[in-house]
């Protein structure tokens, strides 16, 4: 048997000159089961080696930047959800903070903490999706299921706060939609316990798994210089050993007060990116735990004696007949979609700036000033109107620096909104990552890029 095989292997190693060899063009995508996202790669192959690769994007272009010019400032927030749909709160937060910078207003401290908590939970769910999906593409299907299970726990948390799971539209210019529910810390601790269990399981399944390590380490390597030259940020840059994290280097919100480490790799390959993401999840949980511990309580404005809840419609009737005494200091019993924005907590979730944030519903229903305030913000031609100016505000998205560049001309809608999508830079380096490698390495490399079509193509 062995004698039979030997001459064959010899032949393949030194092919005779008359044997015809050809480069092969391979078109991968736009729709392909091993790609999470719609993108086309035209690869030139020499055997299994990738000689050159051409990346074509734009299949999910939805004209985000154009649409943002046509609606009012708060109307852009639902569009931002759809940029990186794995971690929508981070997008919400980045956009709102850019507009707040333009307005020159600062949200209350508790609101900062609430935003940080939600955006770190989103970051974990983003990393879970990324690692889970790339593991699945390498054949580790159970890892994907475990991680999606953990993501489900986190999404339940998100749902408790925002009322939605995916497109949450949670932040507002000058605040957030609703405060955390009273008993948030308990389900949060439980969800983190489950997430930690899953992360341990995944470490057990993958981190020393021979098949996984062989496919991940040494593939998709990028040097520090190249990564910086391409403008790559986030876990991808940190895997090369550059310790750049917007939360640490240009701290925003309350990140400078929260304890966390920035994990870095050293080789800049797929394995390092996997390890960096795994560690970042733990760090994000640390941030949330510390934030829940440190965050200031919301001011309770309601008088406990008169602060009974009246159905909103009844409140409107009382106000109409001028029975102010009966409704002053009372809470409106409002629908579940408005839960968490009652007057009692309103001051802790919204900036003290009437020109930017809607009044609590108690005021809208209960007095004419509140009603006017409400309509001054929602009526066409009124609304949030920042002064003329331009600002750039970066936050640390799950994939890297997510920057919003907003230009205002003083009218009710943004003159220009530009988003700097973190995976755009990484995707532009994809040909460099692929060329010279094997065809099969494309799958883990592309997985570790964590391409999100929504933010890449906008």
Binding site for another protein (CB under 8 A): 57-58, 61, 63, 65-67, 69-72, 75, 101-105, 226, 228-233, 242, 244, 249-250, 353, 355, 380-381, 385-392, 394, 401, 403, 405, 407, 409-413, 415-416, 418, 420, 424-425, 427-429, 432, 457-458
Please provide residue 391's backbone torsions phi and psi, each rounded to the nearest 5 degrees. Answer: -140, 155
User: Residue 250 CB, nearest distance to another protein (Å)?
Assistant: 7
> Looking at beta carbons only, is 155 or 357 nearer to another protein?
357
User: Residue 138 CB, nearest distance to another protein (Å)?
Assistant: 28
User: Residue 347 CB, nearest distance to another protein (Å)?
Assistant: 19
Nearest Cα to Cα of residue 420 among 191, 231, 254, 145:
231
User: Residue 170 CB, nearest distance to another protein (Å)?
Assistant: 22
User: Residue 392 CB, nearest distance to another protein (Å)?
Assistant: 6
* CA 275/CA 202 separation, integer angstroms: 11
> Looking at beta carbons only, is 244 or 260 nearer to another protein?
244
> Looking at beta carbons only, is 265 or 412 nearer to another protein?
412
CB atoms within 10 A of CB 434: 23
User: Residue 67 CB, nearest distance to another protein (Å)?
Assistant: 7
Angle at 356 between CA 396 and CA 351, to 5 degrees: 65
> Looking at beta carbons only, is 359 or 394 nearer to another protein?
394
> Looking at beta carbons only, is 121 or 377 nearer to another protein?
377
> Looking at beta carbons only, is 200 or 256 nearer to another protein?
256
> Looking at beta carbons only, is 141 or 392 nearer to another protein?
392
User: Residue 306 CB, nearest distance to another protein (Å)?
Assistant: 34
CB atoms within 10 A of CB 348: 23
* CA 439/CA 215 separation, integer angstroms: 12
Answer whether 280's CB lies under 8 Å from 307's CB.
no
> Looking at beta carbons only, is 267 or 355 nearer to another protein?
355
Please provide residue 390's backbone torsions phi and psi, each rounded to the nearest 5 degrees. Answer: -140, 135
User: Residue 424 CB, nearest distance to another protein (Å)?
Assistant: 7
> Looking at beta carbons only, is 61 or 197 nearer to another protein?
61
335 token code pair: 């629908």
* CA 298/CA 288 separation, integer angstroms: 17
Instruction: Show Cβ contacts of residue 272 under 8 Å, excluding neighbours closer than 6 positions.
Output: 239, 240, 265, 266
* CA 376/CA 369 separation, integer angstroms: 10
Bond before 279 cis per omega within 30 degrees: no
* CA 55/CA 366 separation, integer angstroms: 57
Instruction: Show Cβ contacts of residue 330 under 8 Å, excluding neighbours closer than 6 positions.
Output: 302, 306, 307, 308, 309, 310, 315, 362, 366
User: Residue 228 CB, nearest distance to another protein (Å)?
Assistant: 5
Nearest Cα to Cα of residue 137 among 454, 414, 443:
443
């Amino acid at each position: 048997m062995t004698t039979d095989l030997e001459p064959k292997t010899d032949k393949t190693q030194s092919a005779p000159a008359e044997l015809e060899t050809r480069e092969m063009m391979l078109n991968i995508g736009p729709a392909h089961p091993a790609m999470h996202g719609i993108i086309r790669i035209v690869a030139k192959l020499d055997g299994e080696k990738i000689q050159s690769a051409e990346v074509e994007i734009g299949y999910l272009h939805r004209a985000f930047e154009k649409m943002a010019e046509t609606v009012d400032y708060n109307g852009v927030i639902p569009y931002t959800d759809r940029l990186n749909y794995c971690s929508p709160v981070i997008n919400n937060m980045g956009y709102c903070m850019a507009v707040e910078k333009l307005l020159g207003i600062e949200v209350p401290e508790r609101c900062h903490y609430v935003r940080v908590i939600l955006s770190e939970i989103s970051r974990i769910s983003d990393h879970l999706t990324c690692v889970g999906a790339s593991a699945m593409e390498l054949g580790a299907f159970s890892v994907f299921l475990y991680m999606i299970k953990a993501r489900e726990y986190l999404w339940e948390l998100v749902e408790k706060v925002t009322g939605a799971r995916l497109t949450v539209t949670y932040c507002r210019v000058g605040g957030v939609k609703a405060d955390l529910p009273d008993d948030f810390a308990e389900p949060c601790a439980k969800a983190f316990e489950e997430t930690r269990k899953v992360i341990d399981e995944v470490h057990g399944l993958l981190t020393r798994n021979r098949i996984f390590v062989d496919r991940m380490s040494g593939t998709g390597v990028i040097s520090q210089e190249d990564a910086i030259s391409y403008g790559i940020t986030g876990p991808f840059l940190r895997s090369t050993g550059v310790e750049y994290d917007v939360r640490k280097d240009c701290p925003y919100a309350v990140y400078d007060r929260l304890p966390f480490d920035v994990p870095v790799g050293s080789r800049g390959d797929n394995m390092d990116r996997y390890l960096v993401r795994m560690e970042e999840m733990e760090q994000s949980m640390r941030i949330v735990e510390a934030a829940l511990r440190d965050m200031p309580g919301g001011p309770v404005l309601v008088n406990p004696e008169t602060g009974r809840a009246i159905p909103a419609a009844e409140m409107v009737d009382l106000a109409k007949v001028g029975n102010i005494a009966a409704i002053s200091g009372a809470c409106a019993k409002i629908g579940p979609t408005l839960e968490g924005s009652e007057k009692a907590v309103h001051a802790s979730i919204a900036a003290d700036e009437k020109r930017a944030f809607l009044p609590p519903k108690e005021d809208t229903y209960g007095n004419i000033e509140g009603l006017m305030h409400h309509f001054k913000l929602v009526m066409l031609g009124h609304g949030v109107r920042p002064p003329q100016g331009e600002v750039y505000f970066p936050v640390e998205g799950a994939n890297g620096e997510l920057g919003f560049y907003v230009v205002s001309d003083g009218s009710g809608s943004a003159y220009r909104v530009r988003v700097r999508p973190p995976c755009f830079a990484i995707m532009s380096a994809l040909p460099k990552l692929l060329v010279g490698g094997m065809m099969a390495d494309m799958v883990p490399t592309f997985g570790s890029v964590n391409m999100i079509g929504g933010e890449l193509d906008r």
